Homo-oligomer: A and B are copies of this chain.
């Protein structure tokens, strides 16, 4: 099989699964991403392991569930020592580089406990969830009275903007994500009223083209070493304001109606109610605001599409195209008013389902080009896919996803999963306390088997949607007595998942097999009366003088 020498792993932030031309959006123009879908496979039922940036990304970058790696919300450090995609790829001889966002927070305590210096090669990788960093840009530099949300956010981009003449302590905030009124005063991109304004920045100086150039700069110097390049954009994530001309590309006439139903407001699950009644939910229930915000969001999506076009053109111009696996995906969606919500705190499809397009240039993938795969796919399948593509050994005891290569090559994998799982750590939001939930145990878990989407809410009744009869997810059956058995069955699926041996990461299947029963032939002879039960070669050891002990540590202890 021809070798893949480059993996171009493109991630957008908060890009909905259905806001692409190839996914059927009636007005949105995404010709470059659509072209990739025509050359590859579009996975139409791909789900993230958490509908919020940080934990979702840690699943992409470790190939493990949130429940396994523990970085359950934004700002929760990924524990030092958690194996990463970068570790696995480097072991297979492929580099793993970052250009853009990860939302990683380093585990400073754990690194200190292990003596890992942040400026050492290993320490830097542990601090950056396994990546070597060409540019880290989390793309978020808001300011408030308590300071910046992230002083490292957009730091290099801000320096570059100042060098380009955008005079401000924080041009990300004042120019890239703000407009201007007639008097020249700032119109913040944080305010939805301003979403239709052009950002006060030249298109080529905005963040998406900047990251694209940083990626092509990287590729220009990368030579032909095998490498996975994670190009990770902040957009179309809010602030919802686009640079010209993208700000004017779409208007209210291009805004699709919200996926919502009045019955969702009638006796809703208290958790759904809490988010519907929150500031963001209420704002996205205002159709006048949606009509201003969504065109800006769509403009940002089309700008992202143009970035993909530039990256693909660069691969072709540099001769990499035939040896590059291309992935385009997102870390989660955006309700945009669907289900009376904004943001992405729950598990309806607009939030937890993602776009996922994979282009495998090898001839083995010719038969599937332009096809749509309906299998239930999880974001953590990408890590296993990349390790296989890089030629590494399968690591089912560490990587909880499965390689998608069989789908790309038209081979149905054996016993593919029939349920996907996702989580949300409500404990780290003010809602837990407001809803009277144990603030340290308020976890949400989704189990979706392709028909039933079950959401376990610790301390409350579950939510349940039947996507066969209610594809819009408008009817919550979680309180329906007739669906008690379905809830029990799905709760059992979740329990089976929760009991998986996710932490037995030091034991490969091969080593486990070698351990079974090995101790008898290493002298652990339990339950024998007088040794006559044993073959002579063994009993001899217990008669007269034994032979000297051979060297070498044994293959894995048996007896307690």
Binding site for B on A (CB under 8 A): 14, 52-54, 67-83, 87, 103, 105, 107, 109-110, 113-116, 120, 122, 126, 140-152, 168-170, 173-174, 178, 185-186, 188, 190-194, 237-238, 278-284, 286, 289, 332, 342-344, 396-397, 425, 427-430, 432-433, 439-441, 443, 445, 456, 458, 491-492, 494-496, 498-507, 509, 512-513, 515-531, 533, 537-538, 541-560
Contacts and interface: CB of A to CB of B under 8 A. Distances in A.
B113 A83 contact: yes
Contacts of A397: 440
20 contacts: A70-B506, A72-B504, A73-B515, A74-B560, A80-B114, A81-B82, A83-B110, A147-B551, A150-B553, A150-B557, A152-B553, A169-B546, A170-B548, A190-B531, A190-B542, A193-B530, A238-B526, A284-B527, A343-B526, A495-B499
B522 A146 contact: yes
A406 to B, nearest CB: 20
Contact of A279 (B526, B546, B551): B526
Contacts of A500: 441
Nearest to A174: B546
Nearest to A126: B114
A553 B549 CA distance: 58
Given A522-B148, A523-B143, A557 B495 contact: no
A191 B389 CA distance: 53
Contacts of A427: 501, 512
Contact of A515 (B110, B114, B428): B428
Given A113-B83, A280-B527, A516 B144 contact: no
A525 B190 contact: yes
Nearest to A187: B542
B512 A428 contact: yes
Given A503-B68, A505-B70, A545 B168 contact: yes
Contacts of A430: 516-517
B148 A529 contact: no
A526 B148 contact: no
Contacts of A533: 279
Given A87-B113, A344-B560, A546-B173, A144 B523 contact: yes
A153 B513 CA distance: 23
Given A67-B499, A526-B238, A105 B560 contact: no
Counted per complex, copies of this chain come to 2
Contacts of A191: 525, 528-531, 542
Contacts of A543: 185-186
A233 to B, nearest CB: 14
A170 B280 contact: no
Contacts of A286: 529
A282 B527 contact: yes
Given A67-B503, A492-B495, 7 more contacts: A72-B507, A76-B504, A145-B521, A147-B554, A191-B530, A192-B528, A289-B529
Given A342-B527, A343-B526, A549-B143, A491 B495 contact: yes
A74 to B, nearest CB: 4
A509 B81 contact: no
A521 B144 contact: yes
Contacts of A113: 83, 87, 122
Nearest to A87: B113
A151 B551 contact: yes
A103 B557 contact: yes
A66 to B, nearest CB: 8
Nearest to A113: B87
B506 A110 contact: yes
B506 A107 contact: yes
Contacts of A279: 526-528, 533
Contacts of A520: 144
B70 A147 contact: no
Contact of A558 (B75, B492, B521): B75
A241 to B, nearest CB: 12
Contacts of A538: 144-145
